Structure 1
């Protein structure tokens, strides 16, 4: 960390500890619609930015948490590389730390892994007002590796991320997107069948009318798959619009829900409109139905539902056993409940 900013952040945290004042951790604030409202003094990390190390030959990048996500992706593009999980920005101010904190992944996630799979190491300020380091900058350095991955999706409840080291991947040599007219149920069946075959699929989404596929890899494998699958060639920008929720589906004024389901799940009988992403493992739902009804139907299918609007019931409830694990971890890293209290659950 920059020495001056490090001292400022530590001073702010230790003052908050002394005064028992909760802190609301903020980056670009592009994911403010997720989770419960947080009351507390704002601690803003946007000034703590910059790429510290990028070694294209080692496929590793390290940057400060406040670094804009677009800046990180621009540096990687210049080196012919990418963030494999294709994280959504949902706004121009999205930061690298926010990407890890919310743990959201884009269309490539089932085929290339999630945000947590990219994290090699982190630096953070704990709830005791100390600087901690977990993991490192190479896959072989596994000391504290699992703790680093716990930061993905923690919504800032475990500590203030100050620095992140990530594994990155080369950009595919060839990318081709297709549109195939078929019903949603037929698409789910075909995707299950194709998943058992060596096809270079890296994204699959059904919008209610047609199945959209992305093929990535070598020119030969992509061309061969296209000949086999057929379909109309479409602009690759479709996946960017899906990732950033800019498709016409998202213009519907009804509340937005994200449904996470087992891969082999069939269609769900829910009021509203659905968009099937991740080959069916992630469903976007536009519905004004009661939260209890949506969660009940999704739970019956073995999944969980998250509301894309701030509120007390935005996150799926935890089982008593899982809640105890969360509370125990919170007690170790943030014993006074200083950071983002209640952002995920009222009891955290």
Structure 2
């Protein structure tokens, strides 16, 4: 017997595909600011909800895409486990499907892995209403392309997620955060130096002269790292890292209140600190630079610098959306995107233009 909620979504997509009517895939709508502006008739997926299977001893959880992240993380916390990629929750009501479709990872990402590294399998409805399944519920290495990971960060443009199976990890037995007063250049140097040593690093954040380093693991390992690194203890460290993950840190709230353009620059971790015309917050051991750009900061300059450091720049949030969010694609990349879109959504009805404006 089929799933009535999934079947209802299939029927809605079939109707839209027949008349070429664009659909705006919506869950908690906590990430509407990500990517390009949502458009089309709303396809609400929140009814497809609930944890399907959770085997803590197997370190695997499967949940339907409309399940609130808060519910999933609460169930895992009760079992002493976590989603190690720390999916951001920018507002209450964020769902599993939205987290995977956006493909964002939190402060632990350089030390535990990205969202895509934890996806074992997905259920998805393609652009002509077919219910498809990729991957599974076990960890394995096989030859061939992993289609389930293709859905991570696709912003719903390749299919409507209906379920996701994820790898879980145990909660660390001990965590501590140390704070150092230093410069941006020195913070980047230390992050890279310490990242190459056998230290239990799990997050870093530099902002306005304060370099915060989180240590996670067995109590003896954390204690040994504290003795080696020094620094001052950070009170209420869990709340601090939640604020960085969920963009409630003062850097992000000031960017929103001042209507600054918030850029997300993914670069080499050793890239030098460079004045790009605005305030910065540095995460991921130097590999993620957030820039709250002033009104005179040019998108071309930001993107040229990111490219010169082997990376790319995404316009993450901005009051003026005239600048394309995604870093410009090469001809080869654009061709690949078009072929994938044509395969999974031949009539272009699923979140058209949400990831890349032209398709």
TM-score range, shorter chain: over 0.9
- 2:243 matched to which residue of 1? 241
Partner of 1:104, secondary structure, is: coil
1:141 shift after superposition: 7.4
2:32–2:38 contact (8 Å) kept in structure 1: no
The equivalent residue for 1:323 is: 334
Q: Helix, strand or coil for the counterpart of 1:123?
A: strand
1:38/1:245 CA distance change after superposition, 3 Å:
closer
Q: Which runs of 5+ in 1 are unaligned?
A: none
Instruction: Determine the C-alpha separation between the residues in 1 that align with 2:13 and 2:348.
Output: 12
5 Å matches for 1:1-348? 3-140=3-140, 142=142, 146-234=146-234, 235-236=236-237, 237-252=239-254, 253=258, 254-288=260-294, 289-309=297-317, 311-312=321-322, 313-348=324-359
Distance 1:142 1:27 in 2: 32
- Cα distance in 2 for partners of 1:50, 1:145 equals 29
Deviation at 1:248, TM superposition (A): 1.4
Q: What is the CA-CA distance between 1:91 and the residue it aligns to? A: 0.6
Deviation at 1:300, TM superposition (A): 1.7
Q: Secondary structure in 1 aligned to 2:333?
A: helix
Shift in Å at residue 191 of structure 1? 1.5
Structure 2 CA distance for aligned equivalents of residues 221 and 130 of structure 1: 50
2: CA distance between counterparts of 1:347 and 1:184? Answer: 38
State TM-score, norm by structure 1. 0.97
**Aligned-residue CA RMSD (Å):** 1.5
Deviation, structure 1 residue 345: 1.0
Q: Distance in 2 between matches of 1:67 and 1:215?
A: 30
SS state of the match for residue 62, structure 1? strand
- 1:237-267 per-residue CA deviation (whole Å, 9 max, x = no partner) reads 2111111111111232122111111112111
What is the distance in 1 between the residues matched to 2:290 and 2:140? 37
Structure 1 residue matching 2:305: 3-state secondary structure: helix
Query: What secondary structure, in the 3-state scheme, does the structure 2 residue paired with 1:308 have?
Result: strand
Find the aligned partners of 1:47 and 1:75 in 2 and give their Cα distance. Answer: 19
User: Which deviations, in whole Å up to 9, do the C-alpha atoms of 1:159-210 show, x marking residues without a partner?
Assistant: 0000000001000000001101111111111122112210001001111211
Moved over 4 A (4+): 141-145
**Secondary structure of 1:206's match?**
strand
**Contact 1:136–1:142 (Cα < 8 Å) also in 2:** no
Report if the CA contact (8 A) 2:59-2:168 is conserved.
Answer: yes
Count of residues in Structure 1 that have an aligned counterpart in Structure 2: 348
Q: Are the aligned partners of 2:192 and 2:286 in contact in 1 as well (CA < 8 Å)? A: no
